[in-house]
Amino acid sequence: MAISDRRSSLEMARMIRSTDRRKIAALAGIAPIARDSGQRNGRRVISGGRATVRTALYLAALHASRHSAKFKAFRRKLQEAGKSVKAALTATARKLFNGMVANRNNFRRFRQPE
CA dist 36 and 42 (Å) reads 5
* pLDDT score for 2: 46
pLDDT (0 to 100) of residue 13: 64
Report pLDDT for 72: 94
Residue 24: per-residue pLDDT: 75
pLDDT at residue number 104: 64
CB atoms within 10 A of CB 82: 8
Q: What is the pLDDT of residue 14?
A: 66
Residue-level pLDDT, tens digit, the chain, 114 residues = 444 555 666 666 666 666 677 777 777 778 777 777 777 677 777 777 777 888 888 899 999 999 999 999 999 999 999 998 988 998 999 888 888 777 765 655 556 665
38-42: Cβ within 8 A, 24+ apart: none
| Phi and psi angles of residue 45, each rounded to the nearest 5 degrees, phi first | -130, 160
Please tell me the predicted confidence (pLDDT) of residue 15: 63
Asked if 11 contacts 53 with a C-beta cutoff of 8 angstroms, the reply is: yes
Task: Please name which of 36, 41, 45 lies closest in space to residue 90, comparing C-alpha atoms.
Answer: 45
